Amino acid sequence: QSTSSSSRGAFIVFEGLDRCGKSTQVSRLVDRLEREGRKARLQKFPDRTTAIGKMIDAYLQSKAEMDDHAIHLLFSANRWECAAAIKRDLEQGITVIADRYAFSGIAFSAAKGLPFDFCLQPDKSLPLPDLTLYLTLPQEEASGRSQFGEERYETVSMQQATRKQFALVAQEVIKIHGEDRWIEIDARGTIEELEDRIKGLIGNVTEGVNGDIGRLWV
Ligand code: 2DT
Ligand code: MG
């Protein structure tokens, strides 16, 4: 039993391109932790339920147009409006599993041509994930999965540009926060195979973490 009264919940982020299996794995992990008697909750980004989230949703469904900088800042604002609840839950011993976070924010906006440093700034000092799992899948496999192409950004050229930016994001995380916080995972295979792979790599971080919640890019 490694959970002590002084430990807090872990903040775990799943990242990756569209249709790589993130959402399936995030919900399976939350289900498993709950079955094991741990407190866990899922946090989806963008959170499309808030007022800001509804603007983001309209943009992603191409029902609204928006300047690239403006939508970038809205994605970040959507994280800031959830930040206090994430911190509160972590402090209460709840494991928070996020389906995307600031790393998607940078990778997608930089892929559209915004300067990398501009993309990074608005998320500075958000809660720092204890662990980010970056799922990778060859583009042919992702493009062949159902629903690929439904939303803005779901084109092969955009996904390929975003993949390059994710590699730069990974370098930045490792440079600023150390290599232990970023794990790249091959997302090929069945749902169960990937789930087992994730379980093996994630280790005991879901049992709780000691120390303060860090600040992103600080
Ligand atoms: P989902 O398909 O996972 O709902 O994501 N995105 C996401 C950004 O451009 N910036 C961000 O900050 C975030 C969190 C990635 C919807 C799309 O929104 C993109 C895919
Ligand atoms: Mg999508």
Query: What is the fold of 11-207?
Result: Rossmann fold (3.40.50)
ipTM: 0.98
Nearest CA to ligand 1 atom 15: 104
- Listed in sequence order, the residues at least 6 apart from 138 whose beta carbon sits closer than 8 Å to its beta carbon are 188
Residues pairing with 133 in the sheet: 14, 183
- pLDDT tens for each residue of 120-179: 999 999 999 999 999 999 999 999 999 999 999 999 999 999 999 999 999 999 999 999
- pLDDT tens for each residue of 60-113: 999 999 999 999 999 999 999 999 999 999 999 999 999 999 999 999 999 999
Q: How far is Cα 21 from Cα 18, in angstroms, rounded to an integer?
A: 8
- pLDDT tens for each residue of 1-24: 444 557 999 999 999 999 999 999
| Strand 95-99 to 40-44 pairing | parallel
- Find the ligand nearest to 57 CA: 1
User: What is residue 1's predicted lDDT score, i.e. its pLDDT?
Assistant: 45
- Residue ranges per structural domain of the chain: 11-207
158 Cβ closer than 6 Å to some ligand 1 atom: no
User: What is residue 203's predicted lDDT score, i.e. its pLDDT?
Assistant: 86
To test the pocket of ligand 1, the residue of 60, 86, 151 to mutate (highest count of ligand atoms within 8 Å of its CB) is 60
